Chains A and B, each alone.
Chain A
Amino acid sequence: MEKAYAKAIDSLLASGMKEEEVFRKLLAQLKESGRMKLLPQLLRELETQAKRKSARGPMLEVALPSEAKGAEAAAQKEGVSAKAVMNPDLIRGWRLTTADTLIDRSGKRALIDLYRKVTH
């Protein structure tokens, strides 16, 4: 049930309704239908969704600090503006992850692909 409410809130906000109005209408609806006990669950669901959304935001990782500028410029070319963060696991190069795309120009990925090609 809380998922349905969270989805409804999401679509109302997306339609341009103000947050205060959404909240007011939500409370009125919950009271009317006797579902006020649902509030804590609804809160948890909204927090989870917010966390998921932020996790799916663009993330630019670089292996070395010297590669940050180049990576940011490359990301910009792809239409994503993001600040590079360090990830030495990449060995070399950079990696840009957005909600549904991945551009991986890292040494780690190249080595894993090569390993798979040779061993399979």
Chain B
Amino acid sequence: MESIIKRIENEIAGFTPSEGTERVGTVRETGDGIAVIDGLEEAFMSEMVVFDPTHDRTLEEALKDASVVYGLVLNLEEDGVRVTILGDASRVYEGMLVRRLGQLLSVPVSDAMVGRVVNALGEPVDGKGPIKGTVPKPIERQAYGVIDRAPVNVPIHTGIKAIDAMIPIGRGQRELIIGDRGVGKTAIAIDTILNQKSEPDESRPICIYVAIGQKESKTAKIVAELEEKGAMAYTIVVTAPASAPAALQFLAPFAGATIGEHFMDAGKDALVVYDDLSKQAVAYRQLSLLLRRPPGREAYPGDIFYLHSRLLERAAKLSKEKGGGSLTALPIIETQEGDVSAYIPTNVISITDGQIYLLADLFNKGMRPAIDVGISVSRVGSAAQTRAMKKVSGKIKLELAQFRELEAFMQFSSDLDENTKKQIDAGRRMTEVLKQNVGEPIPFEMEAAIIFAATNGYFDGYAPEDTAQAQRALQDFLGREGGKVLGKIRDSRSIEEDTEKELRSVLDTFAKRAAK
């Protein structure tokens, strides 16, 4: 108690009242989370302002609730400015004093944010107390230029066989996850976060999951899952739920990018998931219409493309001179009835370095993850694959594409030659091998071994419908008895001749035991 009294006394003794002139304005009108301000003549775009409710109240009234409401300048007009209110809009009233802060909207960032759940302003919302050692960083920042960047060539393993084998993602890449509602977009992102647990500490990326316009129950479930599986130890969750003002939903991805950049600038790797940018676009459209900006296609404002491009350009792999850190972005876009040619999906497809397209039809057929291999692509390609994965997965994509073609042809013909039948069976078996349950990402060395087994005929003795079960059995077997060879693949990141021999011998043992 005494120390608290002493600390307060010190604060009082060291207090110096504010001096100088403050730039202020007055609220002319307010509604729908937007305030029109008279004055603030020298305000600049994206400047933070505070609505101060204490100015015209007595001290007693003011101390009942001395907290301020923050605002963000979004429109500079001839006779005032329009500000979006970043908080409880019901506390803002006509005639209220508004003070300029003279700084761009910033979020507090710090290493201590890891394991925490914060809102779009970087304030903790998990009830675990304040975050220590934070430094404010502007939410909007120019992306790194060409000179500061290095080529993307280090993989970030998702733990999902189909992705790591056919659509590899590199550190610093922007890979879009796109599909209808309920086809497993978030599941892929969460599995990717969970899979980072199998990475060595020194190369494990800090993961940032940004929930935009999501139900709070869904975010709570995700946080619980991450906590249960030990992934919160390297994860930060930024949440702007559906109940949050549109302004916060629009800002949340930028806050996530700023937090990610904090780690990237420190030479670390970071992974940020924007779940999802369709909702951010809707929030920005709402905000723009309320700000009376002219609507364009589908009523989105003219700068909707720039909104997403400037956000996603912040993902980068930095050069050695800049510390060698990286920020990988996994934006998510929700399509309507599988329409990838809608406005926002085409925008984001053109911005990103590839897309993982999930199909509702495949999902309903039981193919999980429901990835359409034909339309999904990673523009970084095999440059972001380990030698081991490159070696085992070389032809899978082509073979699967051929299989899909044959499968379509098969619907019109029942009389197939032996060769075609074999090819179709092989395709079916590979499809079964690539199936994976949600929440069960597997380390890359295990993926490499399973795909090696599949491409080298170790599942050929099984009927296609039994392959998934055999694959699970192999996974268990490798977990039990293949530790040594898996370790070699993990450490060397490649399958050399001797490792291949060793792997074949382990797989032969499995095949023999399975035959019994």
Q: Are B21's CB and A101's CB within 8 A?
A: yes
Complex Cα distance A114/B418, Å? 86
Contact A56 B38 (CB under 8 A): yes
B42's closest neighbor in chain A, by CB? Answer: A100
Contacting pair B59 A91 (CB below 8 A): yes
Which single residue of chain A is at the shortest CB-CB distance from B18?
A113
Contacts of B397-449 to chain A: CB distance below 8 A: none
A105-B17, A116-B66, A117-B11 given; A52·B23 CB < 8 A: no
Verify if B58 is at the interface (C-beta below 8 Å from A): yes
Task: Tell me if B39 and A99 are in contact (CB < 8 A).
Answer: yes
Interface size on A, residues (CB 8 A): 27
Which chain A residues border B62 with CB–CB below 8 Å? 108, 112
> Is the CB–CB distance between B15 and A102 below 8 Å?
no
The docked-state distance in angstroms from the alpha carbon of A114 to that of B15 is 7
- Say yes or no for B515: interface residue by CB 8 A criterion: no
Contact string against B for A residues 86-120, beta-carbon threshold 8 Å, 1 for contact and 0 otherwise = 00010100000101111111001111111111110
Between-chain CB contacts (< 8 Å), 27 pairs: A52-B28, A55-B26, A56-B38, A89-B58, A89-B59, A91-B59, A97-B24, A100-B25, A100-B39, A100-B40, A101-B21, A101-B22, A101-B23, A102-B21, A102-B23, A102-B99, A103-B20, A104-B18, A104-B22, A108-B54, A112-B54, A113-B15, A114-B11, A117-B15, A118-B8, A118-B11, A118-B12
Contacting A78 at CB < 8 Å: which of B18, B21, B95? Answer: B21
A-B pairs, top 10 by smallest CB distance, nearest first, are: A100-B39, A110-B17, A102-B24, A102-B22, A89-B58, A108-B59, A101-B21, A114-B15, A112-B54, A100-B41
Q: Which residues of A contact B63 (CB under 8 A)?
A: 112, 115
Instruction: Report if B48 contacts A (CB, 8 A).
Output: no
Give A22 to B58 CA distance when docked, in angstroms.
45
Q: Considering only CB atoms, which chain A residue lies closest to B59 in the complex?
A: A108
Query: Which residues of B have CB within 8 Å of A52?
Result: 28, 38
- A99-B38, A103-B22, A112-B66 given; 20 more Cβ-contact pairs under 8 Å: A52-B28, A56-B39, A89-B57, A89-B58, A91-B59, A100-B23, A100-B25, A101-B21, A101-B24, A102-B24, A109-B18, A110-B15, A110-B18, A112-B59, A114-B11, A114-B12, A114-B15, A117-B11, A117-B15, A119-B66
Highest count of chain B CB atoms <10 Å: which of A97, A100, A114, A115? A100
